[in-house]
Amino acid sequence: MAKPHSAIYSILTLRCPRCRSGKLFVKSSPYPYKTMAQMPEKCPVCGLDFNPEPGFYWGAMYVSYGLTVAFSVFNYAWMYLIWGWVTWQFLIVNAILLVIMIPVTFRYARCIYFYIIQGFESKFKGEE
Ligand SMILES: [Zn+2]
């Protein structure tokens, strides 16, 4: 099956890792927090199971941790360079930004994790 988009574009737009067309989440907006995790059971385009096994997305916590650390380092760099802020000011503002970004981080962590696992599986099955 020809893939319509690159992997980077598909991850940024939260698309299915197999067909790169179907949307991974029911609602386009990650807000409100209540609906941020709603995913269809299967890809509407290729039928890939979006919940292959119970607890599948536990591994996404590691991706989420990495994204959070990268986001915090980025925040520290620009806050220090622009305002020359000390650590306690950074910690307060960064904590607020991290809470606001929870749904975005959550979705991208799931998406990236799904791409990693799907990539391994498709190579194992000889689909690539
Ligand atoms: Zn699909």
Whether residue 22 is predicted with pLDDT greater than 70 in this model: the reply is yes
Cβ contacts of 17 within 8 Å, gap of 6 or more: 10, 48, 111, 114, 115, 118, 119
* 93 alpha carbon – ligand 1 mean position (Å): 38
Query: Does residue 41 lie in a domain region?
Result: yes
Residue-wise pLDDT for 41-67, tens only, equals 999 999 999 999 999 999 999 999 999
* Ligand 1 (single-atom ion) residues, CB below 5 Å: 16, 18-19, 22, 43, 45-46, 48
How many angstroms does the Cα of residue 16 sit away from the middle of ligand 1?
Answer: 5
User: Is residue 2 in some structural domain?
Assistant: no
In the reported structure, the alpha carbon of residue 4 is separated from the centroid of ligand 1 by a whole-number distance in angstroms of: 11
Over residues 74-128, the pLDDT tens digits come to 999 999 999 998 889 999 999 999 999 999 999 999 999 999 999 887 777 776 5
Residue 17 sits in which domain range? 7-125
Question: Based on the structure, what is the number of domains in the chain?
Answer: 1
15 - beta bridge partners?
Answer: 23
Note whether residue 1 is domain-resident: no
Rounded Cα distance between 60 and 112, Å, is: 8
Model confidence, pTM: 0.89
**How confident is the model over 5-15, as a mean pLDDT?**
94
The verdict on residue 32 lying in a domain is yes
- Residue 19 alpha carbon to ligand 1 centre in Å: 4
Between 121 and 69, name the one with better pLDDT.
69
In this prediction, residue 128 carries a pLDDT of 58
